[in-house]
Amino acid sequence: MRDPDGELTPDCPNPVDQYKILLRRILENRPSGTRLRLAQALGKNRSFVSQISNPAYATPIPAPHLEVIFEICHFSPDQRRAFLKAYARAHPRRLARAQERAQVRRLTLPLPDLGSASRNEQLDRLLINFVEGVVGLIQDYKR
């Protein structure tokens, strides 16, 4: 399917399949729990991570998720280059928009455990939506 550098080979003409296969291989070589940590960091269910890392599903990886994926999955520089090359072939405009947003910083907040996974997930989603809304306002203001 691919050569050692992650380049397309004749039997893998689809760049979406290529970046999904690369992500899946990286996830398979990470400690158990990485998929769950990635899903939590993205504010998604674990099944979403399965969909974005499986070429059988048409679900593309949203460009705003790329930096989180690289961070949580600990992509090497070569893996990141190969992934971005395939992603750029598959979604050239999405990658350009993601690179415009690339200058971000992360803030980790201690939150109380609300006693259930669903309530904790609701709180996480509420805070993520709030921050995304504030960031959207700031970006609109700068334009």
Distance between CA 85 and CA 72 in Å, rounded? 20
> So what's the pLDDT on residue 52?
95
Q: Is 108 inside a domain boundary?
A: no
67: CATH: 1.10.260
Q: Tell whether 11 and 77 lie within a shared domain.
A: yes
Specify whether the CB–CB gap between 59 and 120 falls below 8 A: no
What is the reported pTM?
0.63
Same domain, 41 and 91: yes
User: Number of structural domains, the chain?
Assistant: 2
Q: Which residue has the tokens 């109380």?
A: 112
Report whether pLDDT(135) > 50.
yes
pLDDT tens digits along 72-82: 999 999 999 99
- Bridge partners of 8, per DSSP, are 2
What's the angle, vertex CA 84, arms to CA 44 and CA 69, rounded to 5?
25
What per-residue confidence (pLDDT) applies to 22? 94
89 and 128 assigned to the same domain: no
Could you tell me the residue range of the domain that residue 123 belongs to? 113-143
Res 109: pLDDT: 85
Q: Is 107 helix (H, G, I), strand (E, B) or coil?
A: coil
